[in-house]
Amino acid sequence: MPKETDITKHTQRAACVMAVENEIDLEMSKNPLNNFSYQQQIWTLLSVVEDHHFKISIINPLPEQRAAAYIDGLINAIVHPIRACYSDKPNSNSNSNSNSKKIDREFRDNSYIYTQEWIDLAKSYLNFCSIFPLYHAKMIELTVSGNDIVPSDWSSYNLTYEAYDRLVAKRDPTTENSPLTHISAKELRRHMSISGNYYNVNFSKRLMTALSDAYFEDFNNRHNLPNQWNFLTFSISDFRKVFISLQIMASAWFMARVIAVEEGVPALAFSSALWTPKKSMLINIIASHIEISRTKVSKVLDYLTYGNKGIRHPDIAIQPLIELNESQYAISPFIIMHTNGERNLCVLLNQIPEERYIYSRLVQEKEYRVRQEIINSLEGLDLEFTHGQIDSTDIDLAIIDHYKKTCLCIEIKWFIEPSEIREVLSRSEEIIKGVSQAKKVSEAFRNGNSKLLNLLSINQTYDFLSIVGSVNSIGHHVAQDSNVPVIKIWHLTTQIRNHNNLSATVNWLNRRQYLPTKGIDFTIEKFPITCGEWSSTWYGIRPISNN
């Protein structure tokens, strides 16, 4: 039993860590931009973000894998400065006249530097946002020594699984290409006006049709929930049409900047980089283009508006429309183009009590949908598929090759995103449950369970493996088991389809050849992080690329 002095020391250390965590949270909210109006803060932050994206995709393009990591990091980092601005936003009933100030849309060195410093701080802060939750989950220890926060040794962990989640895409990359250059530059230029430092795009019916022809399929591939799902004020079909309209318009706005820069607009057309449409105009254009009511379009946009629907800790990736004032939005083409609207809608709905109840009933269909997607993706191969219940567990999906006497059983998992560290830890718990189920199935096979063998129409001479297949994450290292592979489903089906060999795939899984290899595919780098007067060290996973 711990001594009372040990308990006291532990309590004091925990209180000290909590105090430091609170100080770091407070430090994150400080920046000279705090002295600007809320509208100016938002415009400046998002314009600089647009500039970052423009430079890494157009001016000095990064290799694909590095660009993907950079984009994810930038989206995650900007969450915190935007949230800090919103938290300090003057109340609409306030006597402050800061809400009525006109936005200065010119490039200003000082403002750019302040914003860059805030984004850099946010990137360090993201690492603290990993350290403290891991400490609270009792997965690491923290010691405060002076102004240093010293974590316990993380190098003893097997970081291969985290590397897999970072380096292997959540979905088949061939279905999520970022459409940047599809539309004819001549067609877009006909609908543009350029004057001085500014450009504008006239989203006529003709242009919207051309944009839809160019971009719709790429963006539509990111959506897979049933059209008939209905929420309080709109259906998934309504949401999809509105969100894809936003994405194709944002893509055009981005490409218009490329054209403007080519024509010599100063400062890389920085003054117009952020899209700031009038609300009424945006509603009218979308409603006309997709032929649904203005009211329904307005309802969808209302859900997508930052901080609406009672969300206490808004996230710009989930609610990407920010109100500059009562009649105008600020919309980052970068964020709209690189987010999965349907996936983030699920996150949003789970934060709204009355919608959460509806969503919880609908997601019971998700296992069926993933199962069908797997079967459809393997169509044409000489394989059989089945599912069903046996005793205290069930088979989500079994893939069987009777000719080569091989059977692969999959326990299906599908998680809500995005993946902050708290959600990664929560997912790990679900993966552990899935691993437990997979082990029950394997045990039933070893024991010659007649219900299992009859369901699968196999016998014990078959090569048999039970795994966990996740749509988007394989969880933390604590969730892994040496006897049960955990893999992303698209990665698995691609392997089966490309090699047309279930037996070889089972061997590939057993040997864990789907995992990246340290020193070949990735390296672990230790780096310093700071926030205010506090510092620490943490680690990063860097891909090794021939690019």
Report the pLDDT averaged over residues 384-391. 93
pLDDT value of position 224: 74
pLDDT given for residue 92 in this prediction: 54
Window from 87-96, 162-171, 321-330, 333-342 with minimum mean pLDDT: 87-96
The whole-number average pLDDT for the span 368-388 is 92
- In angstroms, the Cα distances linking 3 to 7, 8, 9, 13 are 6, 9, 10, 15
Average pLDDT over residues 335-344: 88
- List, in sequence order, the alpha helices (H) in 221-329: 236-262, 279-290, 294-303
The pLDDT value given to residue 73: 87
Q: Taking residues 79-105, report their average pLDDT.
A: 75
315 alpha carbon, distance to own chain's centre: 11
Of 140, 210, 201, the closest CA to residue 182 belongs to 210
Question: Model confidence at 98, in pLDDT bands (50, 70, 90)?
Answer: very low
Buried b (16+ CB within 10 A) or exposed e, 349-363: bebbeebeeebeebb
- Give the whole-angstrom CA distance, residue 149 versus residue 27: 15
Q: State the chain's mean pLDDT as an integer.
A: 89
What is the SS3 assignment for 480? coil
Q: How many residues can be counted in the chain?
A: 547
Task: Give the per-residue pLDDT at 173.
Answer: 62
Class of the CATH domain delimited by 364-510: alpha beta
The per-residue pLDDT for 347 is: 83
| Higher-scoring residue by pLDDT: 323, 67 | 323
Instruction: Quote the pLDDT of residue 461.
Output: 97
Q: In sequence order, what DSSP letters do the residues of 260-285 get, joined into one string?
A: HHHTT-GGGGGGGSSB--BHHHHHHH
Taking the C-alpha atoms of residue 514 and residue 532, their distance in angstroms, rounded to an integer, is 41
pLDDT at 84 over 50: yes
Domain boundaries, the chain: 1-160+521-547, 169-351, 364-510
User: Quick one: angle between helices 294-303 and 236-262, nearest 10?
Assistant: 80
The whole-number average pLDDT for the span 440-461 is 96
Spatial CA neighbour of 327 closest among 107, 100, 81: 100
pTM of the full structure: 0.83
For 266, the token pair is: 């100063």
Distance CA 251, CA 161 (A): 34
**Helical axes 205-220 vs 279-290, angle rounded to 10°:** 70
